[in-house]
Amino acid sequence: MNAGDELLDLLALRYSVGPKYLAPPAPSAAQWTRAAALASRAPDHGGLRPFRFVVVDDSQRDALAELFARGAQQRGQSTEEVKRARERAFNGPGLVALIARVRADLADVPPHEQWLCVGAALMNFMNALHLMGFGAKALSGASVSDPAVHQAFCGPGERLANWVIVGCPTRATHPRGLSIPAVEPDDLLLPWAG
Amino acid sequence: MNAGDELLDLLALRYSVGPKYLAPPAPSAAQWTRAAALASRAPDHGGLRPFRFVVVDDSQRDALAELFARGAQQRGQSTEEVKRARERAFNGPGLVALIARVRADLADVPPHEQWLCVGAALMNFMNALHLMGFGAKALSGASVSDPAVHQAFCGPGERLANWVIVGCPTRATHPRGLSIPAVEPDDLLLPWAG
């Protein structure tokens, strides 16, 4: 088996790891940088680089929890739900926000092509973390579109695409047993009907 | 250096390879399948799998060229441009259409999250081809939104996201020297300002 084959097998073993199964440590600064560097190798029509990563430090979790809790309150959620919203700020030993900046004013690179680039970057970011031995999961939910969170993370024309939580997996990663594909598997790759 | 480190370095060497520098052979059926399988490992909120791949066979290039040429004519392009449109159908020893099916009716998984999944799938598809020794490039242009091409490739609710051309690179892959990032490189990874 050559190096490429081994890598393919190793990449295919990447599964999302939820917050319950992520233990410290978080990636080091050098490891975040390496993951972001691989992300920046995504195909990028027009060279727009329509994404960036923002790392939330441990010392900032309380401030983030406050934002999450206030958002949940403003959405009229119950005390229990507000508590859970607050707790989400502490998910993952490592926490990063993926920020997308998708422009609508480019004839040659329509928004969906820019989203493809952001998604490709996310994939390589997670691939890099996986290859460094980390588990990770992309998470969204109400917080990514909360106005106060938006203001705290995004500049003009930007939006918070999703969070990525990262840490050391405390059990072997495995496919989500309950995931049922919405479409026939054999639809994934077909010859052109012509 | 452990296996993960080697793999990271190898993945970081993936660059898009244009049609001029792609020689036969195209991927075999087993290789297309392996690439599609890695694509299907993309993070996929809701398990929607909002993408599929359609392989264009060599025997179908003439028919595709006809579609491309008619589209260019209908867009009022010059004879020279119609000729070039026709030629594009023969680009790449291997040719695949990435089809996106992004639903607008899901409260939990907004369209941009589905596009992230399609982009992540594209990244892993190209990573897999790279690791198998192929060069590849994602291409879009006028053909992806041509009505006749759309009808020939897409079902209800689908659109052609981009083409992927694939083959054996005839020179060492390298970064596009002319690519100038639209944003400061040091904006890629920042600590949260809080």
What's the pLDDT tens digit per position in A119-178? 999 999 999 999 999 999 999 989 999 999 999 999 999 999 999 999 999 987 665 544
Q: Select A20-55+91-172's CATH number: 3.40.50.1000, 3.40.109.10, 1.10.20.10, 3.40.190.10.
A: 3.40.109.10
Tell me: ipTM over 0.85: yes
Residue carrying structure tokens 């192929």: B134
Judged by a CB distance cut-off of 8 A, whether residue A115 touches chain B is yes
Q: Give, for all 194 residues of chain B, the pLDDT tens digit.
A: 577 788 899 999 999 999 999 999 999 999 999 999 999 999 999 999 999 999 999 999 999 999 999 999 999 999 999 999 999 999 999 999 999 999 999 989 999 999 999 999 999 999 999 999 999 999 998 999 999 999 999 999 999 999 999 999 998 766 654 444 444 457 899 999 88
DSSP A83-106: HHHHHHTT-SSEEEEEEEE--S--
What is the predicted pLDDT for the residue at A5?
A: 84
What is the predicted pLDDT for the residue at A175?
A: 59
Residue carrying structure tokens 């053909």: B143
* A133/B4 CB distance under 8 A: yes
What is the predicted pLDDT for the residue at A174?
A: 62
Of A20, A50, A12, the closest CA to residue A169 belongs to: A20
The DSSP symbol for A113 reads: H
CATH class of B19-171: alpha beta
Residue carrying structure tokens 């004013």: A105
What is the predicted pLDDT for the residue at B169?
A: 95
The model's pLDDT over A54-98, given as tens digits with 9 standing for 90+, comes to 999 999 999 999 999 999 999 999 999 999 999 999 999 999 999
* A119/B124 CB distance under 8 A: no
Residues of A (157-186) whose Cβ lies below 8 Å from B: 159, 161-162, 176, 179-183
- State the pLDDT confidence band at A183, using cuts at 50, 70 and 90: very low
pTM of the model: 0.94
**CB of B96 closer than 8 Å to CB of B163:** yes
The model's pLDDT over A92-116, given as tens digits with 9 standing for 90+, comes to 999 999 999 999 999 899 999 999 9
Residue partners of B78: CB distance under 8 A and separation at least 6: none
β partners of residue B191: A55
Judging contacts by C-beta atoms under 8 Å, the chain A residues touching residue B131 are 4-5, 7-8, 11
**CB of A167 closer than 8 Å to CB of A130:** no
Q: How far apart are CA B45 and CA A95, in angstroms?
A: 18
The distance of Cα B164 from the centroid of its chain, to the nearest Å, equals 4
CB pairs under 8 A between A and B: 233
In the structure, how many helices (H) and strands (E) does chain A have?
6, 6
Give residue A186's identity as a one-letter amino acid code. Answer: D
* B192/A153 CB distance under 8 A: yes
Closest B-chain CA to A54: B190
Residue partners of A134: CB distance under 8 A and separation at least 6: A27, A31, A94, A166, A167, A168, A169
Judging contacts by C-beta atoms under 8 Å, the chain B residues touching residue A52 are 183, 187-190
3-state helix vs strand vs coil in chain B, percent to 5 = 45, 20, 35
What is the predicted pLDDT for the residue at A181?
A: 44
What is the predicted pLDDT for the residue at A180?
A: 43
Q: Which two tokens stand for residue A101?
A: 């900046």
A50-88 exposure pattern, b = at least 16 Cβ within 10 A, e = fewer: bbbbbbbeeebeeebbebbbbbbeeeebeeeebeebbeb
Name the strand (E) or helix (H) holding A153.
helix A147-153
Of B91, B194, B166, the closest CA to residue A56 belongs to: B194
β partners of residue B138: B164
Q: How far apart are CA B187 and CA B155, in angstroms?
A: 40
Interface test with A, best of B28, B95, B131 (most A CBs within 10 A): B131
